């Protein structure tokens, strides 16, 4: 399963919240889409917040829908996936519900 989220770069701190979902679900792949990314030096700012092993999609679309559609495209091509807002922690019962 792919666990994915999307956020503007100025909310990178929310990836610490998203990390709780990663720990709970233990997905095969973690995918993070970051908007308002316009300079490669911004990767250094993101690095401390990214879950270990996460794949990163970056762009300067200035549009959350464009970011979300990129995630949906990857998930549709690669298999089962779940997109969760970066500032939402799933209920503890979610793994049981998802079976």
- Residues 20-61 have pLDDT tens digits of 999 999 999 999 999 999 999 999 999 999 999 999 999 999
The yes-or-no verdict on residue 69 having pLDDT over 90 is yes
70: closest CA among 5, 23, 13? 5
Q: Assign residue 27 the CATH number of its domain.
A: 3.90.550.10
What domain range is 80 assigned to? 2-97
The yes-or-no verdict on residue 92 having pLDDT over 70 is yes
Q: How confident is the prediction for the chain on average, in pLDDT?
A: 93
Interval 4-19 mean pLDDT: 96
């Amino acid at each position: 399963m792919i666990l994915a989220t999307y956020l503007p770069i100025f909310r990178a701190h929310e990836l610490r919240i998203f990390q709780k979902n990663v720990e709970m679900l233990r997905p095969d792949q973690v995918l993070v889409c970051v908007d308002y990314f316009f300079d490669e030096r911004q990767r250094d700012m993101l690095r401390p917040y990214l879950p270990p092993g996460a794949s990163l999609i970056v762009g300067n679309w200035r549009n959350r829908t464009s970011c979300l559609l990129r995630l949906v495209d990857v998930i549709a091509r690669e298999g089962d996936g779940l997109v969760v807002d970066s500032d939402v922690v799933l209920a503890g019962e979610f793994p049981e519900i998802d079976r």
